Structure 1
Amino acid sequence: MTPVGAQAISVGGRYDVHVGPGVLDRLSGWVTGGRRVMVIHQPGRTALVAGVLEQIRAAGGEAHAHEVPDAEAAKDVSVLAGAWQALGLAGFTRDDLVIGVGGGAATDLAGFVAATWLRGVDAIQLPTSLLGVVDAAVGGKTGINTAEGKNLVGAFHEPRAVLCDPTWLRSMARPDLVSGLAEVIKCGFIADPTILTLVEADPASASDPTAAVMTELISRAVAVKARVVDADLHESGLREILNYGHTFAHAIEQVEHYAWRHGDAVSVGMVFAAEVAVRSGVLSPDVLEHHRTVLRSVGLPTSYAGAPWEQLRAAMARDKKSRGSTLRFVVLSGVGAPQRLEGPDEQVLIEAFTAVADAG
């Protein structure tokens, strides 16, 4: 395959997502002389953080680094308060900049810090996980967790830019990288079938951060999300299609106490949604089988039988897309043709679950 160079995907003309080798060199464009820059980062990104700090200083900026815990522990109120304190001690003003470096939890936190400091300062996101770049860092959603649930406190705060060099993903454990592919494949099913073609043509390269196809896969997935977010920034309707597979996925995550990787749950959730769509008469069985084929090709799970239906059904009733006792699903009528399905027959749901559980 011909190498794919760095690409810039516009999000409604408001900011760009830069994907490809060497994109860190573009960071200096947002750092003016004397501008204070706080780099909020998770552990284990030593070389990248050093490179970011070097870029800031070379551009004449005043560089500060603030380390936060890894994974969801970063999205705690106490960690948020620590970041606010660091900004205050460094004298950050409305003209200054916050940069998030790490996985989705780090970019969620950094974005919320930027959204709330002095009622909003600029943010730039540097996601270092596949899930982070194709999902968490794009779209302006920021947030932290509380004892009552995930992401219950947050704000919409779009970044000035998102930068991702796929080679930053090399530090990811393979199961985590593969899990992130579920969100990429989701974008293929809801909007861009070329993603599915690329994955199926060479599943090994599709899960290799050093392969040229990784830049194209990320760019295409980001482009899908960028188009949807541009049309529906505040989730009034269209943006709901990005939740394809997520209703059942969130139920799995809840009953498994978040021991399941998000992408793994989304993978099974897409198969469940396809089963529901077939049984509701809106989707061809061939497309259902296509789900299983492409997801399995990269090692993603397509079945789940770890909890009884009653427990999963109760968890789905708490999904944010539900209205009262009525479940709402994003389903497909074909590849690239998502639609909403409200209140499917209960027997259809049971049969879909049975198929997903038995498929293991």
Structure 2
Amino acid sequence: MTAPLKPSDPITVHVALTDRAYDIVIGRSVLPSLGARIAALRPGVRTAIVTDKTVAKHWLQATEASLAEAGIATSHIAVDEGEGSKSYAGLEKVSEALIAARIERNDLVIALGGGVVGDLAGFAAAILRRGVDFVQVPTSLLAQVDSSVGGKTGINSPQGKNLIGSFHQPVLVVADTAVLDTLSPRQFRAGYAEVAKYGVLGDAAFFTWLETNHADIMRGGSAREHAIATSCRAKAGVVSRDERENGERALLNLGHTFGHALEAATGFSDRLYHGEGVSIGMVLAAEFSAQLGMISADDAVRVERHLADAGLPTRLQDIAGFQQEGLADADRLMALMAQDKKVKRGKLTFILLQAIGQAVIANDVDPATVHAFLQQKLTQ
């Protein structure tokens, strides 16, 4: 691994997508530069900020001030915090507010918030007037390293997570690591699961570095910017090669087939944050891989131990209210996994491990084997 860069040095990661290429700007206190960056990118543009009520209390004023300083007119809409806003009702609310604000096709929508806001605002922008560009200003660790990059936007269906959406790339991502200081420890840890994912699926050296440096990342030391930039470079590389998930990009779903089913089973509530579901899902994927003889049991234990050391849940039994809402029912979890976006012609697709740092796409996994594995885990 390269040594971490100084946190005072903004880092730019380029997402190479020909005429839709864009930059991710990462660094402490880069939010005040947002207005100048947008003005340089789109002179004369008008904007509308989509945020949530909690983020608005901390960062809306600073965002509006940066835009005003650059002479950019703006308005805003604040939705409720949490996955409940990623719904048909939430999409209608945001879309109607953008229309009322007279946002036109040559204007910009700004997503100021975590993954929920980014997905919701991005999808609203994608369908507003058949397509309006947008800027991501991610305010959670999970959004900075994952959901703000790559153009996946959407809302949840009662039948599953992210089943309604589109690919709509941002034109700029500004990731200010200082905003992460306002996150609760639980929210930050949930985002860390996506950081660890990049090491587990494709970079064994990064995973080893995380095992040594995760405490400094949690404290906000220089390792934080390095971890975020490394994660963004990994995702940017995959997205540039496979934008619409026809192959390699599916590897980024490590832990998500299990995790999304668990989120649906808990009603997309704060009983289980997305990153917490991914953490449990990664451990299940590692253990399932070991059971299939693809990796050693020691490697599976290593994945579980690191996530536990980072303060993340690693077992089904770690979920609040474990016995409720189908969590202790293998049939129910299998039915939820059958609604996953990666299912093709009814056949389950999992991301499994051949080694730490080497994930593979496993098509047509035997449902009976998965059911037996889940039944085993539910009784441990």
> TM-score of the superposition, structure 1-length normalised?
0.91
Q: Is the 8 A contact 1:275 1:352 kept in 2?
A: no
Q: Distance in 2 between matches of 1:67 and 1:275?
A: 41
The alignment partner of 1:207 has SS state of helix
Q: Is the 8 A contact 1:128 1:168 kept in 2?
A: yes
Return closer, same or farther for 1:196/1:343 CA change in 2, 3 Å cut-off: same
Q: Which shifted more, 40-49 or 176-185?
A: 40-49
Q: Is it true that 1:295 corresponds to 2:307 in the alignment? A: yes
Q: Distance in 2 between matches of 1:323 and 1:95?
A: 37
1:66-123 Cα offsets, whole Å, 9 max, x none, are 2222112332334333333333333322221110101111111211222122222221
Aligned-residue offset at 1:293: 1.9
Residue matched to 1:29: 37
For 1:64-213, list aligned pairs within 5 A.
Answer: 64-208=75-219, 210-213=220-223
1:328-360 Cα offsets, whole Å, 9 max, x none, are 21111112221122344567535643664466x
Q: Distance in 2 between matches of 1:267 and 1:201?
A: 18
Return closer, same or farther for 1:326/1:149 CA change in 2, 3 Å cut-off: closer
Q: Distance in 1 between matches of 2:316 and 2:89?
A: 35
Aligned positions, number: 358
Q: Which shifted more, 305-314 or 243-252?
A: 305-314
Q: Is the 8 A contact 1:279 1:348 kept in 2?
A: no
Q: Distance in 1 between matches of 2:44 and 2:362?
A: 53
The alignment partner of 1:281 has SS state of coil
> TM-score of the superposition, structure 2-length normalised?
0.86
1:177-198 Cα offsets, whole Å, 9 max, x none, are 1111111111111112343223
- In structure 1, the gaps of 5 or more residues are none
Aligned-residue offset at 1:291: 0.5
Aligned-residue offset at 1:162: 0.8
The alignment partner of 1:202 has SS state of helix
Q: Distance in 1 between matches of 2:359 and 2:173?
A: 27
Q: Distance in 2 between matches of 1:93 and 1:187?
A: 37
Q: Which shifted more, 237-246 or 332-341?
A: 332-341
Q: Is the 8 A contact 1:192 1:220 kept in 2?
A: no
Q: Distance in 2 between matches of 1:78 and 1:250?
A: 21
Aligned-residue offset at 1:133: 1.6
Q: Distance in 1 between matches of 2:242 and 2:53?
A: 34
Code of the residue aligned with 1:242 in structure 2: it is: L
Q: Is it true that 1:261 corresponds to 2:264 in the alignment? A: no
Q: Which shifted more, 164-173 or 300-309?
A: 300-309
Residue matched to 2:325: none
The alignment partner of 1:29 has SS state of helix
Q: Distance in 1 between matches of 2:346 and 2:237?
A: 31
Code of the residue aligned with 2:337 in structure 1: it is: M
Residue matched to 1:217: 227
Pick aligned residue for 2:13 from 9, 16, 20: 9
- In structure 2, the gaps of 5 or more residues are 323-327
1:158-206 Cα offsets, whole Å, 9 max, x none, are 1111111112112212112111111111111111234322321133222
Q: Is the 8 A contact 2:112 2:136 kept in 1?
A: yes
1:259-310 Cα offsets, whole Å, 9 max, x none, are 3222122112112111221222221222212111211110112211441333
Q: Is the 8 A contact 2:261 2:333 kept in 1?
A: yes
Q: Is it true that 1:251 corresponds to 2:261 in the alignment? A: yes
Q: Distance in 2 between matches of 1:336 and 1:294?
A: 14
Identity across the alignment (%)? 34
Return closer, same or farther for 1:229/1:2 CA change in 2, 3 Å cut-off: closer
Q: Distance in 2 between matches of 1:82 and 1:319?
A: 26
Q: Which shifted more, 198-207 or 167-176?
A: 198-207
| CA RMSD, Structure 1 to Structure 2 (Å) | 2.3
Pick aligned residue for 2:245 from 235, 240, 245: 235
Aligned-residue offset at 1:23: 1.8
Q: Distance in 2 between matches of 1:237 and 1:279?
A: 25
